[in-house]
Structure 1
């Protein structure tokens, strides 16, 4: 199928582009390159530097490229920034997405795959998190994702749009061949921060909270390899043939990993020590967050290749070691 990958030059989007090709599809990328990297997309793949709010330009792309499915990865995703600049997040994550949906419907494109987040659950009372767990976001980032989930349900009911919303846990790792990987500015994710500290490119890693009710006192999180995420998005395509399909899936391994375990995995992959300091807990950090992804496995036949933290970190190290300056190298 002809697939428009919105945000396809970003971290998850660029990995999805490669997985689409491997699965026999034809990806087309739309990315304004605010956070994406042109070098993350192979030169032979069409890339349009367009803003989602420009409905005329987006509509022309949908027609020219004969797009059948749209995949949306173009949200802003810095939690702290969303608290400080909520309007920025509502304009980009909500308003721009509504423009995209509006032009899709106008052009008769009615299959949509949405990158959502476990942040829609807020601080859950029970683990693991299932799709039916209460959704109560604690920051504007999570709220904007939930707003689009709710909008999608209404639009699907009214128009026959078919969609799947994937609630990610902690996307991590890099392509196995080391060609593309994680290059954010600023970087907020634990694994690349730990690698940068080990390389001496960043200050000592801060462990926020060492007195949680967890096996080693540090927070537990669910790290899922970025290629495993991408494969789930492609597996859902056949489910979108039913008009009005409204699908929600958690994507995680279901295996929680502590901050100290991530540090140990980085040290094993790199052969370097990760310098760190211990700091007080951060407000709003729950002791543990991990997924029950049974639904994706059962309904989509989703199979997780990277089931533990070490191979995930190994791919991340391969990327960062070979590209110490990211895509600028």
Structure 2
């Protein structure tokens, strides 16, 4: 049988596809390449360039490739962008997910792993945050993902779809062997921006908010290495195939680092200083986000291997240095759908 990965040519999706292939799974990918790269899909993995919101496309791929499970990663992920253009997020995240669920239900898919986010919590009442904490998203991005979680719950009851919802905390890093990583132009991930500064691609980094009631005044984040996150998807799939029931799981390490602490770690790993400027708070930003990881560790056969900020920064930097070298030759290009 085959696993369909939507968004499988993107940052998280390509790492997940690679992990699945290395685990011996048959995989097929749907990606519109708006932020993904066909080069990141492993050789031999069929790539259908199109929109996961196209029910006919999803239905056809499920039927023609004997798909028995879906890992739904496709979507938009930038909080600040969602504040400026909320309707595109309700389309790309909520509406597209409805289409994927509709095709899955029609074709009798019983196992689905959904890419959600810690942004569904909003500003938490306490830290670390457990999965049963109130969901009060502070951005259209978080709300669009929470809406999908609700749809998935209802579809599970009505259609018998078993699912694992993974609420990602801050995804960072790159493949430890620098085969793939984050290559999207204009990415807003903190580690990505920091390694761009460390490789002289940015003049400075702006820190949005230095007056929060935290030890150094900047926001605190729980970073999870993208390769560990990819393995969490594999573990979730294994759990569902073994008869696991629907469950929602935080995917982080349970350790928080401030924005300024993270920047200092990149400087240390790179052995290079770069300018850092203070800027005002951004609408939709959360002050402190740290996961309670007890449920995922008890539910899935998942042991993180890269749960150290310096390791994450080292892998992110190695990938960025490779990108710089590649761009001196042939620029990576996303192929339009």
The TM-score normalised by the length of structure 2 is: 0.93
| CA deviation after TM superposition for structure 1 residue 132, in Å | 0.3
Partner of 2:303: 303
Q: Whole-Å Cα distance in 1 between the matches of residues 281 and 95 of structure 2?
A: 34
Partner of 1:148: 148
| CA deviation after TM superposition for structure 1 residue 211, in Å | 3.1
Q: Whole-Å Cα distance in 2 between the matches of residues 91 and 322 of structure 1?
A: 34
| CA deviation after TM superposition for structure 1 residue 210, in Å | 2.5
| CA deviation after TM superposition for structure 1 residue 71, in Å | 0.5
* 1:285–1:92 distance in 2 versus 1, CA, 3 Å: closer
DSSP-derived class of the 2:39 partner: helix
Partner of 1:190: 190
| CA deviation after TM superposition for structure 1 residue 305, in Å | 1.0
Q: Is residue 78 of structure 1 aligned with residue 81 of structure 2?
A: no
Q: Whole-Å Cα distance in 2 between the matches of residues 131 and 268 of structure 1?
A: 34
| CA deviation after TM superposition for structure 1 residue 242, in Å | 7.3
- Length, aligned pairs only: 329
5+ long unaligned stretches in structure 2: 333-337
Partner of 1:313: 313
5+ long unaligned stretches in structure 1: none
* 1:318–1:162 distance in 2 versus 1, CA, 3 Å: same
Q: Is residue 221 of structure 1 aligned with residue 224 of structure 2?
A: no
Partner of 2:114: 114
Alpha carbons 2:203, 2:274 under 8 Å: kept: no
Q: Whole-Å Cα distance in 2 between the matches of residues 135 and 242 of structure 1?
A: 29
Runs of 4+ in 1 over 6 A off after TM superposition: none
Partner of 2:335: none
* 1:69–1:245 distance in 2 versus 1, CA, 3 Å: same
Q: Whole-Å Cα distance in 2 between the matches of residues 313 and 254 of structure 1?
A: 17
Partner of 1:265: 265
Q: Whole-Å Cα distance in 2 between the matches of residues 295 and 15 of structure 1?
A: 23
Q: Whole-Å Cα distance in 1 between the matches of residues 207 and 57 of structure 2?
A: 45
Alpha carbons 1:160, 1:244 under 8 Å: kept: no
Q: Whole-Å Cα distance in 1 between the matches of residues 175 and 238 of structure 2?
A: 25
Partner of 1:328: 331
